[in-house]
């Protein structure tokens, strides 16, 4: 193997302290008259085809032609056939920088990019001067493997060889330093560039965004004089990935005002922002721009559209997109199956999965997460085990922690808590806090305090407990009136500097998102909202509603418990929707936490007395409330 060969011929720590006068002039490959073999090489699409052409070259007597050997190296490298490229390279007498570059380029694109640095060191030892193209490849290898020290050595050589103004080299240096978190050095290289264009800015913006330094990324973005589509898209993507979805939407609007044409990636980033926000109207607005900007509805865009519509509460619109696709792939099927699952359409999700298999698509790990989630949301235990077992037996896929998590959730929902615990104990992969948390939540729902305590001890002793773990434990103790134990869990939460995630609900009205917290009094229409809430409370009580005070997990008086339930964020968002939209219009609310049982009961009755359809997305799934019932069948 090349890796082991390089380990012998190159030093373990590359010494790259050279200067320009240490090297003789390169023997540049002569540009011979066009060979009839060149078109054949360019048409090669596999290593076996290269073998045939190479054999013909040798038979013709041109087997030592330096230019043909260079072209052979390039073709092998582009096909990732590094072993064969290495053998060709060894047949070159006194290879020049172009031969070395062709081989190193292939290695950089392969599985062991740092071998390129070792090979580069070997080349330097043979006194062959590098050029800017070769150095940019080696810096790319350093950047891909976060090899900061090696990269710094090469940077020193860049300065000695007067390549400090070569744009390709500087771009790689920015990527290297930024990728390794050395932003002072990355910014210094960027600031010293003679031409800080959109491409250079995009590299630095991406590095900042990857590390969560979104304000710094915005600073670079604002300083780029002529921003192109890629630069705008990189900034929008960074905002979305760092939880600044509305800022991403606003930046897209500014992009429109600047008359910069978006591309498919721009639209996909925006649709992802809409999906996270649960902003259906905004998503439809973005969807409308596909035709305006001539952006094709390919499988990538359509899969993102399906995901957006599903996460924004309109599985019907998602299905329209899916049915209208001229060609589908496994990603589009995965998106649609996952969407059906989260909307409680479990059997439809399983049927679509089976159709996908009949059509010859090979399922992925993501496919099985989607279909197992469908079984979990529908309480389809036998079907869930059938799907789970088919992963390895039929499709050769080993279950991962997410698949075990789906099965634990499925067993926990139906009350088979001990079976779920046993499955975790027998897993072939290490269980994470998410799996234990799912079972912990099931223990609270089904009233198994003993098992909840046992799980809590496992999590705390293994240092796997996060803030959600302590909240779940505290809530479990509170459900059984164990107020001292609950207080102890909350005290640990505070001691460890953890914070409970506050409940928050949002509703989209006229393309504007309105957010509400528990007992929120900041909204400008708070007076009308609370008046509507009081009106709804009176009406639903006439329908038989009685507050489930057990849902209040604090040791307070009954009257205080009723008030604490009445001001949950989703109720405030729904009441705002009732006063802000026309009668009969569907109300869609997005909540960051699991909807409580009391709110679930009340919303069913609000839907009944108002004649509205109310769609609520919580942390686990969608609830479609209509005429006094919910699509989840009170199972969530």
- Let me know if residue 415 belongs to a domain: yes
The reply to whether 153 falls in a domain is: no
Indicate if 491 and 605 belong to the same structural domain: no
Question: Is residue 589 assigned to a domain?
Answer: yes
Question: Is there a domain that residue 200 lies in?
Answer: no
CB-based contacts of 279: which residues, under 8 Å, 6+ apart? 312, 508, 511, 513
Residues 463 and 533 in one domain: no
The answer to whether residue 533 is domain-embedded is yes
Low-confidence ranges of the chain (pLDDT < 50): 1-14, 18-31, 552-561
pLDDT of residue 23: 43
Residue pair 598/625 in contact by the 8 Å Cβ criterion: no
The reply to whether 454 and 543 lie within a common domain is: no
Evaluate whether 227 touches 260 at the Cβ level (below 8 Å): yes
What pLDDT, on the 0 to 100 scale, is given for residue 22?
Answer: 47
The pTM (predicted TM-score) of the whole model is 0.81
- Could you tell me if 362 and 395 are in contact, meaning their C-beta atoms sit under 8 angstroms apart? yes
H or E segment and range at residue 509: strand 504-509
* pLDDT value at residue 525: 95
Number of neighbours of residue 430 by Cβ within 10 angstroms: 9
Do 451 and 524 fall into the same domain? no
- Residue 424 forms part of a structural domain: yes
Residue 17 lies in a domain: no
Q: What is the largest CA-CA distance in the chain?
A: 98
Give the residue among 112, 107, 187, 173 at the shortest CA–CA distance from 143. 173
**Same structural domain, 539 and 488:** no
For residue 233, the surrounding DSSP H or E stretch is helix 229-241
Q: What is the CATH number of the domain that holds 463?
A: 1.25.40
Same domain flag for 526 and 457: no
* pLDDT score at 565: 62
Would you state the pLDDT for residue 13? Answer: 43
Distance separating the N- and C-terminal Cα atoms of the chain: 54
| Strand arrangement, sheet containing 512-517 | 512-517, 504-509, 587-591, 614-617, 622-626, 629-630
Picking from 495, 517, 539, the residue at the C-terminal end of a domain is: 495
Helix (H) / strand (E) containing 513: strand 512-517
Read off the tokens for 518: 């528990």
Q: How far apart are CA 480 and CA 526, in angstroms?
A: 35
What's the pLDDT tens digit per position in 495-514?
877 777 788 999 999 888 99
**Token digits of residue 402:** 């997410």
Please tell me the predicted confidence (pLDDT) of residue 31.
47
What 8-state DSSP symbol labels residue 80? T
Q: What is the token pair recorded at 581?
A: 């939209």
Structure tokens at 86: 């290495």
Rounded CA-CA distance 38/392 in Å is 46
Domain boundaries, position 574: 504-630
Distance of CA 512 to the CA centre of its chain: 25
Q: How many structural domains is the chain composed of?
A: 2
**Same domain? 408 vs 473:** yes
3-class DSSP state of 447: coil
Which of 447, 467, 495 is where one domain is finished? Answer: 495
User: Is 491 found in the same domain as 513?
Assistant: no
Tokens of 311: 């996460």
> 550 in a domain, yes or no?
yes
Which of 495, 518, 533 corresponds to the end of one domain? Answer: 495
Clarify whether residues 411 and 487 are in a common domain. Answer: yes
Note the pLDDT of residue 488. Answer: 84
């Amino acid at each position: 193997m090349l890796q082991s060969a390089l380990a012998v011929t190159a030093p373990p720590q590359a010494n790259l302290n050279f200067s320009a006068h240490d090297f003789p002039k390169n023997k540049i490959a002569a540009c011979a008259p066009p060979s009839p073999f060149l078109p054949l090489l360019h048409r090669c699409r596999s290593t076996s085809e290269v073998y045939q052409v190479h054999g013909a070259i040798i038979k013709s007597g041109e087997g030592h032609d330096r230019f043909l050997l260079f072209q052979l190296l390039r073709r092998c490298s582009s096909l990732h056939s590094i072993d064969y490229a290495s053998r060709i390279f060894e047949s070159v007498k006194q290879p020049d920088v172009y031969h070395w570059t062709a081989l190193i380029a292939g290695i950089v694109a392969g599985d062991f990019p740092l071998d390129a640095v070792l090979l580069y060191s070997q080349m330097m030892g043979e006194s062959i001067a590098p050029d800017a193209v070769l150095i940019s490849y080696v810096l790319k290898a350093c950047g891909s493997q976060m090899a900061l020290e090696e990269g710094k050595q090469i940077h020193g050589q860049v300065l000695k060889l007067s390549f400090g103004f070569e744009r390709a080299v500087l771009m790689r240096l920015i990527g290297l330093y930024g990728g390794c978190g050395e932003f002072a050095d990355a910014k210094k290289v960027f600031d010293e560039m003679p031409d800080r264009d959109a491409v250079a800015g995009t590299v630095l913006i991406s590095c900042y965004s990857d590390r969560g330094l979104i304000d710094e990324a915005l600073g670079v973005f604002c300083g780029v004089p002529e921003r192109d589509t890629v630069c705008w898209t990189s900034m929008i993507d960074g905002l979305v990935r760092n939880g600044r979805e509305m800022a991403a939407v606003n930046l897209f609007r500014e992009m429109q005002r600047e008359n910069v044409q978006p591309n498919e990636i721009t639209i996909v980033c925006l649709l992802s922002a809409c999906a996270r926000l649960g902003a259906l109207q905004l998503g439809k607005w973005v969807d409308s721009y596909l035709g305006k900007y001539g952006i094709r509805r390919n499988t990538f865009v359509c899969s993102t559209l399906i995901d957006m519509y599903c996460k924004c509460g309109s599985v019907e619109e998602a299905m329209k997109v899916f049915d209208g696709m001229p060609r589908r792939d496994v990603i589009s099927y995965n998106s649609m199956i996952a969407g059906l699952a989260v909307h409680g359409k479990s059997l439809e999700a399983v049927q679509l999965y089976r159709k996908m298999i009949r059509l010859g698509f090979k399922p992925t790990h993501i496919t099985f997460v989607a279909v197992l989630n469908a079984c979990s949301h529908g309480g389809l235990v036998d079907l869930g085990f059938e799907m789970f077992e088919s992963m390895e037996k039929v499709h050769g896929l080993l279950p991962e922690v997410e698949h075990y998590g789906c099965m634990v959730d499925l067993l926990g929902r139906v009350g088979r808590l001990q079976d779920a615990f046993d499955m975790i104990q027998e897993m072939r992969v290490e269980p994470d806090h998410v799996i234990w948390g799912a079972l912990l939540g099931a223990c609270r729902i089904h009233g198994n305090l003993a098992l909840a305590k046992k799980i809590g001890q496992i999590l705390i002793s293994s240092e796997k407990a996060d803030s959600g773990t302590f909240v779940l434990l505290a809530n479990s103790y509170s459900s059984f009136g164990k107020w001292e134990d609950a207080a102890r869990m909350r005290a640990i939460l505070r001691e460890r500097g953890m914070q409970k995630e506050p409940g928050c609900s949002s509703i989209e009205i006229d393309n504007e998102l309105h957010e509400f917290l528990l007992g929120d009094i900041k909204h400008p229409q708070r007076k009308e909202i609370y008046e509507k809430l009081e009106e709804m409370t009176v009406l639903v009580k006439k329908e038989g509603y009685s507050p489930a005070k057990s849902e209040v997990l604090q040791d307070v008086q009954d009257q205080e418990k009723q008030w604490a339930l009445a001001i949950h964020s989703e109720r405030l968002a729904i009441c705002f929707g009732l006063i802000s939209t026309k009668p009969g219009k569907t109300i869609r609310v997005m909540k960051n936490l699991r909807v409580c049982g009391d709110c679930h009961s009340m919303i069913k009755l609000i839907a009944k007395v108002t004649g509205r359809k109310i769609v609520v997305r919580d942390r686990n799934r969608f609830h479609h409330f209509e005429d006094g019932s919910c699509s989840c069948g009170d199972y969530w």
